[in-house]
């Protein structure tokens, strides 16, 4: 099976140079995205069949490329297979969406060559079985995605986003490079050799921290998230969907591969570190999202939240694994992996919807949208499902993974360590807060952009998007529902992954009465999304038909009531910033140092009074701004070296030579 996978990746790589040629042809984008669609669906099917039918086989291959004495090692175990499914499901959806959306691209030459290369890079990261290929693929993925981020290079904002992204990506790779350096010191670059080696506890701890920094900066863990809300929205929407829905998952893969697979048995404080980063990431990410008014930026910040949820699950799994409770570790790990899958589904869907809105109106600013449900009914329907799913509401899929995470948290009193006993309930509280904020955030996103009355002419004259884009969105929406009402199937499919990584599996789910999911025992907890869905659908239909038949089914249209004071001006509606004002007032004064400044004109001045809101990103101010300042200061000082005379340069070279010789001699 790995041969098929590698050939498909090779096909994707071959499509990249073809993209240069195709970008000049009128129907080139269709051919390219069609090619990507075929390659990714082959990969997806291959990986899925591998995960479902032959999970115990782990085929590997070695290609004579890369370092001459090492070659490039590839391996397809259950973990890789699962992440291949996630990546390529996202890839299939994005390519399908782009078949329609990509035709409106202004400069296809800046997108088409990089898109297949980017897909291929993500696949290679997951397949790689030695540190060298892993890092090369990782860096290739960063660079191709950077090229896509700056594809609309005429907007100054995008260039800044690309710059920050490039810096943070280099930082992440550096951390991973050091992590692998520590791991490989006694064993070599091959993952198989690393697995067999036994690094000391101190080295393992350092590798954990470095992996958290490296993978976490790519995934968007707070405080390494600063680049994400800049870069993800800057790319074309199908690429944004891939970056948020899929590439952050590749980062999660990197973390899981290093910490759960390559490192020896965990120690309890590892989980403490991961939990203390994951919980605040979830809450802060969604609070940031609530304060935004740009649709794509809201979605990018919400990605940070979901990454926080995933890392919380992974932290729980580490804690339970360290204490030998591997059956609970399996529950927490499965919850995290299920959330990886779920988030890939609904985040891609939501970014595609944002792309459809952007294509129809040219606007990403919610304050200029409104009423799109009338003009883009199908997009609005798909987006509604995405919004409900990401808010972790039943019967959709987001709820299932959060529910499983909560079940794992409820088992944490069994842990012996006191630190964890105090941290885990607090993290549970943070997750609960994040879930509630997420609902608020997506009520806002949907309510402001799709409901109400149009706030601008472009929103009033929007049109439905093309049928490829619609198909991609509706398919993803259908997956969100299926994964929500039949979660047992997905949990069972994850069993080999959890077996490999934490050494145990959740109880077998399919075959339980009525497809209920039971994480531990029926006396503890169970949830049946299918029955809830059917039950609610029946109740709703019964109520509707009874009322229509027995009472009244008449309906008339009239102007809105609004307590007797309707105003035809759409500006009277709540705007995105006014919607989040109460939450900003309650939570923002501390977290964002938010201030509302009322500027009253002096008496007798005809100027209107203004209300200005000041928000500060305290993490940026406290962490990034000082670093930038120091670097700026240092470069200013070094700058004089650029304007020396030839004599002084020669002196410098001479001094450098002497110093080097001294170093060598000593």
Partner 1 sequence: MNALRDILSQGAQMSLVLGLAPLLTGFVRKVKARLLRRRGPPLLQPYRDLIRLMRKDVVLADNASWLFRVIPYLIFSGTWVAASLVPTFGNGLLFSWTADLIAIIALLGSARFFQALAGMDVGTAFGGIGSSREVMIASLAEPAMLITVFSVAMIAGSTQLANVAEFMGSDAVGLRVSLGMAFVALTIMALAENARIPVDNPATHLELTMVHEAMVLEYSGRHLALIDLSSQLKLLLYVSLIACVFLPWGMATADASVARLVFGALLYLGKLTVLGFLLAVFETSIAKMRVFRIPEFLGAALMLALLATLLRFVSGSL
Per-residue mark of binding to partner 1, 350-389 (x: CB under 8 A): --------------------xx-xx--x--x---x---x-
DSSP at 412: G
Closest CB to partner 1 among 4 and 433? 433
Closest distance to partner 1 from the beta carbon of 641 (Å): 54
Closest distance to partner 1 from the beta carbon of 540 (Å): 4
Closest CB to partner 1 among 162 and 428? 428
User: What DSSP element (H or E) covers 194?
Assistant: helix 191-196
| Positions 451 through 510 that interact with partner 1 (CB under 8 A) | 451-453
Residue from 67, 510, 543, 625 touching partner 1 (CB under 8 A): that is 543
User: What DSSP element (H or E) covers 312?
Assistant: helix 295-322
Residues 82, 337: contact at Cβ < 8 Å? yes
Closest distance to partner 1 from the beta carbon of 440 (Å): 4
Query: What are the φ/ψ torsions at residue 200 (nearest 5 degrees)?
Result: -70, 165
Closest distance to partner 1 from the beta carbon of 587 (Å): 8
Per-residue mark of binding to partner 1, 582-601 (x: CB under 8 A): xx-xx---------------
Rounded distance between C-alpha atoms, residue 489 and residue 230, angstroms: 36
- Give, in degrees to the nearest 5, the angle at Cα 242 between 34 and 361: 85
Transcribe 285-297 into DSSP letters: HHHHHHH--BHHH
Stretch that binds partner 1, among 9-17, 298-306, 536-544, 623-631 (CB under 8 A): 536-544
Residue from 489, 532, 594, 619 touching partner 1 (CB under 8 A): that is 532
Stretch that binds partner 1, among 104-112, 139-147, 216-224, 398-406 (CB under 8 A): 398-406
Query: What are the φ/ψ torsions at residue 486 (nearest 5 degrees)?
Result: -125, 55
Q: Is 79 exposed, middle or buried (0-12, 13-18, 19+ CB in 10 A)?
A: buried
| Positions 211 through 270 that interact with partner 1 (CB under 8 A) | none
Closest distance to partner 1 from the beta carbon of 447 (Å): 3
Burial 174-198 (b: 16+ CB within 10 A, else e): ebbbbbbebbbeebbbbbeebeeee
Closest distance to partner 1 from the beta carbon of 404 (Å): 10
Query: What are the φ/ψ torsions at residue 523 (nearest 5 degrees)?
Result: -75, -15
Rounded distance between C-alpha atoms, residue 438 and residue 304, angstroms: 11
* Phi-psi region at 511: left, alpha or beta (left = phi > 0; alpha = psi -120 to 50): left
Residue from 3, 63, 67, 547 touching partner 1 (CB under 8 A): that is 547
Closest distance to partner 1 from the beta carbon of 387 (Å): 8
Closest CB to partner 1 among 559 and 603? 559
Residues 242, 149: contact at Cβ < 8 Å? no
Pairing of strands 72-75, 60-63: antiparallel
How many angstroms from the chain centroid is the CA of residue 605? Answer: 50
Residues 226, 620: contact at Cβ < 8 Å? yes
| Positions 554 through 583 that interact with partner 1 (CB under 8 A) | 554-563, 566-567, 570, 572-574, 578-583
Per-residue mark of binding to partner 1, 5-24 (x: CB under 8 A): --------------------
Closest distance to partner 1 from the beta carbon of 17 (Å): 47
Residue from 59, 205, 447, 507 touching partner 1 (CB under 8 A): that is 447
Per-residue mark of binding to partner 1, 402-431 (x: CB under 8 A): -x--xx-xx-xx-------xx-xxx-xx--
Strand partners for 613: 596
Other CB atoms within 10 Å distance of the CB of residue 224: 26
Residue from 106, 155, 457, 522 touching partner 1 (CB under 8 A): that is 522
Contacts of 503 (CB under 8 A, 6+ apart): 321, 326, 329, 330
Residue from 71, 206, 525, 618 touching partner 1 (CB under 8 A): that is 525
Stretch that binds partner 1, among 45-53, 352-360, 479-487, 553-561 (CB under 8 A): 553-561
Residue from 392, 473, 483, 485 touching partner 1 (CB under 8 A): that is 392
User: What DSSP element (H or E) covers 63?
Assistant: strand 60-63
Closest CA to 580 of 481, 444, 480: 444
Closest distance to partner 1 from the beta carbon of 191 (Å): 38
Per-residue mark of binding to partner 1, 312-351 (x: CB under 8 A): ----------------------------------------
User: What DSSP element (H or E) covers 72?
Assistant: strand 72-75
| Positions 154 through 183 that interact with partner 1 (CB under 8 A) | none
Closest distance to partner 1 from the beta carbon of 37 (Å): 32
Residue from 70, 203, 393, 619 touching partner 1 (CB under 8 A): that is 393
Count of residues engaged in binding partner 1, rule: CB under 8 A = 88
Closest CB to partner 1 among 178 and 384? 384
Residue from 63, 65, 67, 537 touching partner 1 (CB under 8 A): that is 537
Query: Per CB under 8 A, does 271 bind partner 1?
Result: no
Rounded distance between C-alpha atoms, residue 440 and residue 434, angstroms: 10
Closest distance to partner 1 from the beta carbon of 379 (Å): 13
Contacts of 405 (CB under 8 A, 6+ apart): 309, 312, 313, 316, 332, 335, 336, 339, 431
| Positions 33 through 52 that interact with partner 1 (CB under 8 A) | none
Closest distance to partner 1 from the beta carbon of 611 (Å): 16
């Amino acid at each position: 099976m790995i041969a098929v996978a590698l050939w498909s990746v090779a096909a994707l790589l071959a499509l990249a140079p073809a993209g240069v040629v195709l970008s000049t042809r009128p129907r080139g984008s269709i051919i390219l995205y069609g090619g990507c669609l075929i390659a990714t669906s082959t990969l997806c099917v291959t990986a899925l069949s591998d995960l479902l039918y032959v999970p115990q086989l782990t085929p590997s291959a070695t290609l004579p490329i890369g370092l001459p004495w090492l070659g490039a090692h590839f391996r397809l175990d259950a973990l890789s297979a699962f992440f291949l499914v996630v990546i390529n499901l996202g890839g299939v959806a994005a390519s399908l969406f782009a078949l329609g959306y990509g035709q409106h691209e202004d400069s296809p030459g800046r997108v088409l060559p990089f898109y297949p290369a980017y897909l291929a890079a993500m696949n290679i990261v997951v397949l790689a079985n030695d540190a060298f290929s892993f890092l090369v693929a990782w860096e290739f993925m960063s660079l191709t995605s950077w090229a896509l981020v700056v594809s609309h290079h005429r907007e100054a904002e995008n260039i800044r986003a690309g710059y920050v992204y490039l810096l943070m990506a280099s930082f992440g790779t550096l951390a991973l490079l050091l992590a692998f350096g520590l791991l490989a010191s006694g064993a070599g670059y091959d993952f198989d050799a690393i697995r067999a080696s036994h690094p000391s506890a101190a080295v393992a701890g350092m590798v954990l921290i470095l992996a958290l920094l490296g993978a976490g900066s790519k995934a968007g863990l707070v405080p390494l998230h600063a680049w994400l809300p800049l870069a993800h929205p800057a790319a074309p929407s199908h690429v944004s969907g891939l970056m948020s829905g899929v590439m952050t998952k590749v980062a999660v893969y990197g973390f899981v591969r290093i910490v759960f697979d390559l490192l020896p048995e965990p120690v309890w404080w590892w989980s403490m570190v991961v939990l203390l980063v994951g919980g605040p990431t979830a809450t802060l990410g969604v609070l940031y999202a609530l304060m935004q008014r740009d649709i794509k930026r809201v979605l990018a910040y919400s990605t940070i939240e979901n990454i926080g949820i995933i890392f919380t699950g992974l932290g729980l799994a580490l804690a339970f694994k360290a204490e030998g409770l591997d059956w609970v570790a399996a529950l927490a790990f499965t919850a995290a992996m299920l959330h990886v899958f779920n988030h890939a589904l609904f985040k891609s869907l939501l970014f595609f919807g944002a792309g459809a809105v952007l294509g129809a109106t040219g606007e990403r600013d919610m304050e200029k949208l409104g009423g799109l449900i009338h003009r883009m009914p199908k997009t609005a329907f798909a987006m509604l499902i995405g919004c409900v799913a990401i808010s972790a509401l039943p019967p959709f899929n987001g709820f299932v993974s959060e529910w499983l995470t909560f079940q794992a948290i409820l088992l944490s009193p069994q842990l012996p360590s006191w630190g964890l006993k105090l941290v885990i309930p607090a993290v549970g509280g943070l997750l609960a807060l994040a879930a509630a904020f997420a609902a608020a955030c997506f009520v806002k996103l949907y309510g402001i952009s799709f409901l109400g009355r149009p706030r601008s002419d472009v929103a009033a004259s929007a049109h439905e998007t093309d049928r490829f884009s619609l198909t991609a969105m509706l398919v993803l929406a259908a997956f969100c529902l299926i994964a929500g009402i039949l979660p047992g199937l997905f949990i069972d499919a994850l069993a080999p992954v959890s077996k490999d990584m934490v050494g145990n599996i959740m109880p077998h789910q399919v075959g339980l009465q009525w497809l209920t999911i039971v994480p531990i025992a029926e006396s503890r907890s169970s949830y049946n999304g299918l029955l809830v869905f059917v039950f609610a659908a029946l109740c709703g239909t019964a109520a509707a038909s009874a009322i229509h038949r027995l009472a009244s089914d008449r309906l008339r249209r009239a102007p809105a009531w609004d307590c007797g004071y309707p105003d035809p001006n759409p500006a009277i509606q709540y705007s995105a910033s006014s919607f989040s004002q109460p939450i900003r007032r309650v939570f923002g004064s501390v977290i964002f140092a938010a201030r509302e400044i009322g500027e009253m004109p002096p008496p007798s001045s005809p100027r209107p009074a203004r209300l200005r809101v000041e928000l500060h990103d305290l993490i940026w101010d406290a962490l990034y701004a000082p670093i930038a300042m120091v670097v700026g200061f240092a470069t200013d000082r070094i700058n004089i070296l650029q304007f020396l005379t030839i004599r002084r340069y020669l002196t410098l070279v001479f001094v450098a030579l002497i110093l080097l010789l001294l170093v060598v001699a000593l």
